[in-house]
Structure 1
Amino acid sequence: MSNSNYYIELEEEYGAHNYHPLDVVIEKGEGVWVYDVDGNKYLDCLSAYSALNQGHNHPKIKEAMINQLDRLTLTSRAFRNDKLGLFYKKLSDMTGYEMSLPMNSGAEAVETAIKVARKWAYVTKKIPRYKAEIIVAEGNFHGRTTTIISFTTTEEYKYDFGPFTPGFPVVEYGSIEAIKAAINENTAAIMLEPLQGENGIILPPDGYLKAVAEICKENNILLIADEIQTGLGRTGALFASHHENVRPDITVIGKALSGGFYPVSAVLADKDILGLIQPGEHGSTFGGNPLAAAVGIAALEVIEEEHLIENAQKMGEYILEYLEEIPKKNIMDIRGKGLLIGVELKHELGG
């Protein structure tokens, strides 16, 4: 029996079967390479769904984490710590947003963005209380919490998990007319992925996000961009929304915000939006902890210092050109932006 089989049997016996992973048991990662328990070496083309934009086991992020582990890991937000303010400032300096609200997982950050948008809707836009709606798109993936699966269009994510949360009209992704038709006096926000990742690397028509942003401005609606998978350099821009010179009112980030070392996410917005949240209205025991802040600062510095955004654009163009030269016998489509690329195989091959 191989070493892999031993670990696979342990997972199957004692773990909930909420995933069906490939039967490759990874024990080590370095840069773009991973190694399994049987001594095989693989090029990691998945990059933990963009959580590893900086590569596996990046030395600078690891050093920052080790240094902070020796000092302080958690206080809860009942106290201040000497890293959180620095993290806030780094996020603002790098992204241009005035404020941030740190959480842990991407789904938590999306849930937070929903709460923030609703708060703005009732306090600023004066939508009747508990009537606010947030328009979302078909094929969306924003997480698997109970509110978020309420508006998924992937049946396996929601089957047998109801009842669901109302207030999320679903429209065709890429259709401006569908968005216009869904807007009413209770529309608080439109939440989109600038490029759909989980749905199969789906790029909307050129100009789509810019047109949505203009519609939002005309109708006093917030634009929320879920950049958890597309952000922090993956598509050859800091945020995928930047490809169309769009600055969403709220941007949600995670994954590569820690370089794969620790769960770190955040909601970004200006003070007229995030400043509405008052003490006690939202929180997290671990959100904004000093270890997460130290890791987050280092992860952002690596993106800047190693020019990962420019590299993603350059290497993405190279890889797309290379993939286009492959015979199309078994390939239906190749699409992507930067280093977020999908190769769709024909259905008979599992595509």
Structure 2
Amino acid sequence: MIVGVPKEIKNNESRVGMTPAGVFELVRSNHTVYVQSNAGVGSGFTNEDYQQVGAVILDTIGQVYAMSEMIVKVKEPIKEEYTLVQEGQIVFTYFHFASSEALTKAMIKSKAICIAYETVEDEDGTLPLLTPMSEVAGRMAIQQGAKYLEKPVKGKGVLLGGVPGVAPGKVLVLGAGVVGIQAAKMAAGLGAHVTILDIDMKRLRYVNDVMPPHVVTEFSNEFNIRKHIKTHDLIIGGVLLKGAKAPNLITRDMLKEMHPGTVIVDVAVDQGGCVETTRPTTHEDPTYIIEDVVHYTVANMPGAVPYTSTMALTNVTLPYVLALAKDGWEVASSKNEALQKGLNIVNGGVVYKEIIEAFGWQSSMV
């Protein structure tokens, strides 16, 4: 199969869809790999790195799309790429369709085979291709949140870990999934007091077992959320509904109950956000303030640490890329139930029901 790796063109996105090591495995299996010139530079990989393992370097993104049977990338195609996607072409990437009706309609129109990293699902319900980026984003959420709690950037002026004689900051984590647990781990490591909420008692029991005593668990409901937002300094939104839009657990009116300078980091922004006032931002302009509450809602947080993120992503995507390249999407997905769940749009029709439900459509064809 001919596999294409284009350069990401989303604002401040420096990750790349495949490392040279991944390209090496494809070439060794007799596949052809086209990599756009300088696609890997942001992640620390040069054109020569790719050429040495057998990739062919192409000058433009248009050439990569035009000459490839499968596109492997990181972020969803943006508007400038919509017309480059071809009928019958496999596009394997993070799509997060439920948060963008325009993207969904564009991919339906393209009649491509859209396989979303974020909905590939193992038998135990875990999301193997989302997990590493959730781990990065969860850890980064505390790193960024701690920074934006500083007064010069309109935060409360709180040091999360505190100092002798001064109580540490308080972190509220919504969701005890991968993002939530990684965020709690980092916050606890800094010495902050952490409260983590979830509706899954199994997850809360797990957190209670593995975290230190200054990480406490509570059942998630509106009463408890309203109670804690009044006293916590940093709020992490880590809620995920597989392939669907995230629920608004914090509404606009709740912001008035927060102390001025409170920071919200909504990691669920890719799925619409779990805070009503969330809107996607970029690394170039990452925050905005509503009701004196600082919102950090960058839609591609792991893009700020592209070397780590690209390495972690290729580690998990490569086996699926190899299977798709070897057998094609129909045979590969029939052999692998996890991959089959990654199918979102096929030949102009939506095959993932949560997307249809997200937009209130009556049909899979628009």
State the TM-score, normalized to the length of structure 2: 0.34
Larger helix proportion, structure 1 or 2? Answer: 2
